[in-house]
Amino acid sequence: MKRDFLVIMSGRMLQVITTIFIARIMTSLLGQEEMGKTVLIMSITTFFALIFINPVGTYINRRLHEWEEKGVLLQRFQLYCVYVISVTLFANLFLLLFYLFYKNELQLSLGWLIFLVTGSLLINTFNQTIIPTLNMLGHRMKSVIFALLTLWSSLFFSVYLTGQTHRAEQWLAGQLIGLAIGLVVALFFFVRSYKDQSKVFKGKAIFKEVSREQLKSLVVFSVPVAITVGLSWVQFQSYRFTVNSLVSVEFLGLFAAGYNMSSSIMGAFETTAMQFFYPFVYKNFSKARNEQEQIQIWNRYAAIMIPLTLFTAFFVVYMAKPLTNLLLDESYHAAYMFLMWGSIAEAGRILGSVYGLLAHASMKTRQLIVPQFIGALLSAVLVPCLIYTWGPEFGVGAALALASLAYVLALHIVIRKKMAFQISAFTVIQGLLGPLPLLAATLLFPSENLTLVGTIILVGCCGIYYLLLGYLAIGKLLRRNSIDFSGTKDV
């Protein structure tokens, strides 16, 4: 267990350090208007990825170990490839309509828009499917290496292409090149590892091996998930178009720089946790004999994830100013408040995923729709209302944070009525008390009084405290919940 954790943590630390450089370089190369354009293009890609691709990907995670044991893993991935290509072709039709409405804001040719969105849907989807799958199947070290290769290649080509033009489309094109390099290497290893133990389809036979029952199982599982993640897009992504219309694309770029930084930090934590815990969780879900056993597995997982999520969120809140000064270009230093709001909103999203995992395990994904609808509705209503009443500097972030908290509360109430899971008050208190020394540090050493070296020392010391306390907390919680991580293949 410790070896697995150290491999994943080391790889994740390298990824976080790289992400720091990416944020600093990106905000140096792209002005606020270009940053705004970048997030608008990414939101369109995310819309199709969440609604049409994410539900099927979640279904794959749920069945992955079962398919490996049956020797049909490559067959299922062949079908998945056909499906993703079909979604991409459909997305191109929608892009024509989108371009008519946002042509002026994007200042981008239709050809560039189609290339970036289509390329992301194909390359990013396959990259983010194959590499996590390798981790789920026990190839931890390989998945870390391929993820780092993707990240470093993307950074290199984005900087190379954007260095002279300072344009959003060149930056995104560089990201696609890096994703493609990581995908090719990971795909080669994946096929080589499973070609002898998993059959593949040839020609039209790819469509004949899917029974009506299998298709029904996929649809029953995926449609509620698609509705849920579609509403999630409304809650966490649609505000970008509202801000662009009611304020400006420049303010959107400033807000996105702060919010995306919090999203990157919270996302790094979430991905590390998923990379470490998901192989155990899904493998045991697939072996669970009844719903009660699934709930017991989830209780142990939630007892770790909830306090760590709260701890990470408040780490970002308390360190917002020094993190902004250190990680973003000087022209973006006013975005520190958006970093704070973003960490709260992202914590709600991650906690929602923790609750959602229980619904996925029991195949009762319809339970997720109403809570997500509440979060989406509040986000859509509160963002414009608070922009007018409190101003965009305070209103946008507050609206997203309030909607996120309401979403988690609704999710807790709805799922708790259906399943008797347990979350102790001590679990929540742990996550709230752990970051308090960080608050004391920022009060004793205000970032505006620190030099660059002083800021680096403050962030470094607080970061070491965060990692050390997180490591000790994980070890303690694993022992308390008697969690066994045996059964991984290699690292």
409: left (phi over 0), alpha (psi -120 to 50) or beta: alpha
Using the 3D structure, point to which of 210, 238, 253 is the last residue of a domain. Answer: 210
Structure tokens at 61: 């995670």
277 and 182 co-located in one domain? no
Using the 3D structure, point to which of 210, 231, 255 is the last residue of a domain. Answer: 210
Cα torsion 384, 386, 391, 397: sign: negative
Name every residue whose Cβ is closer than 8 Å to that of residue 393 and which is 6 or more positions away in sequence.
Answer: 337
Query: What's residue 346's pLDDT?
Result: 94
- Report yes or no: 326 and 261 within 8 Å, Cβ to Cβ: no
Domain count, the chain: 2
491 and 382 co-located in one domain? yes
Q: Is residue 75 part of a domain?
A: yes
Q: Is residue 439 part of a domain?
A: yes
How many helices (H) and strands (E) in the chain?
A: 19, 0
**φ/ψ of residue 465, rounded to 5:** -60, -45
375 and 249 co-located in one domain? yes
DSSP letter for 490, please.
Answer: B
User: Of 52, 411, 354, which is closest to residue 226 (Cα–Cα)?
Assistant: 52
Burial class (CB in 10 A: 0-12, 13-18, 19+), 486: exposed
Query: What's residue 485's pLDDT?
Result: 43
39 and 142 co-located in one domain? yes
List, in sequence order, every beta strand (DSSP E) within 112-240: none
**260 vs 338: CA distance, rounded Å:** 9
Q: What is the dihedral of CA 108, 112, 118, 121, to 10 degrees?
A: -60
Give the predicted TM-score (pTM) of the model: 0.81
Structure tokens at 338: 């958006």
Q: Is residue 319 part of a domain?
A: yes
User: Hey, what amino acid is at 361?
Assistant: A
**204 vs 184: CA distance, rounded Å:** 25
273 and 322 co-located in one domain? yes
400 and 488 co-located in one domain? yes
**206 vs 438: CA distance, rounded Å:** 55
DSSP letter for 139, please.
Answer: B
Query: Over its length of 491 residues, how does the chain's per-residue pLDDT go in tens digits?
Result: 556 666 666 777 787 778 778 888 998 999 999 999 999 899 989 999 988 898 888 888 777 777 777 777 777 788 888 889 988 998 888 888 888 877 777 778 888 999 999 999 999 999 988 888 887 777 878 888 898 999 999 999 999 999 888 898 999 999 999 999 999 999 888 888 766 555 555 555 566 666 677 778 788 888 888 888 899 899 999 999 999 989 998 999 999 999 988 988 898 888 877 777 776 777 777 676 677 777 777 777 888 888 889 989 999 999 999 989 888 888 898 899 999 999 999 999 999 888 888 777 666 677 788 899 999 999 999 999 999 999 999 999 999 999 999 999 998 888 777 665 666 666 677 777 778 888 888 888 887 778 888 888 988 888 888 888 877 777 765 665 555 544 444 43
404 and 360 co-located in one domain? yes
Q: Is residue 22 part of a domain?
A: no
Q: Is residue 317 part of a domain?
A: yes
- Report yes or no: 374 and 402 within 8 Å, Cβ to Cβ: no
Query: What's residue 487's pLDDT?
Result: 41
**19 vs 25: CA distance, rounded Å:** 10
**392 vs 188: CA distance, rounded Å:** 48
Q: Residue 128 sits in which domain range?
A: 31-210
292 and 319 co-located in one domain? yes
User: Hey, what amino acid is at 316?
Assistant: V
User: Of 232, 230, 243, 241, which is closest to residue 397 (Cα–Cα)?
Assistant: 243
Structure tokens at 445: 């050493």
**143 vs 285: CA distance, rounded Å:** 22
* Residue listed under structure tokens 């004999």: 289
**φ/ψ of residue 139, rounded to 5:** -90, 70
Q: Is residue 257 part of a domain?
A: yes
Burial class (CB in 10 A: 0-12, 13-18, 19+), 423: middle
User: Of 185, 346, 264, which is closest to residue 18 (Cα–Cα)?
Assistant: 264
Query: What's residue 488's pLDDT?
Result: 43
**158 vs 171: CA distance, rounded Å:** 5
**207 vs 103: CA distance, rounded Å:** 39
* Residue listed under structure tokens 């930056």: 171
335 and 418 co-located in one domain? yes
With both helix axes pointing from N to C terminus, report the angle between 125-136 and 168-194 in degrees, rounded to the nearest 10: 40
Using the 3D structure, point to which of 210, 239, 270 is the last residue of a domain. Answer: 210
Q: Is residue 400 part of a domain?
A: yes
150 and 274 co-located in one domain? no
Q: Is residue 344 part of a domain?
A: yes
153 and 205 co-located in one domain? yes
396 and 460 co-located in one domain? yes
> Collapsing DSSP states into helix, strand and coil, what is residue 470?
helix
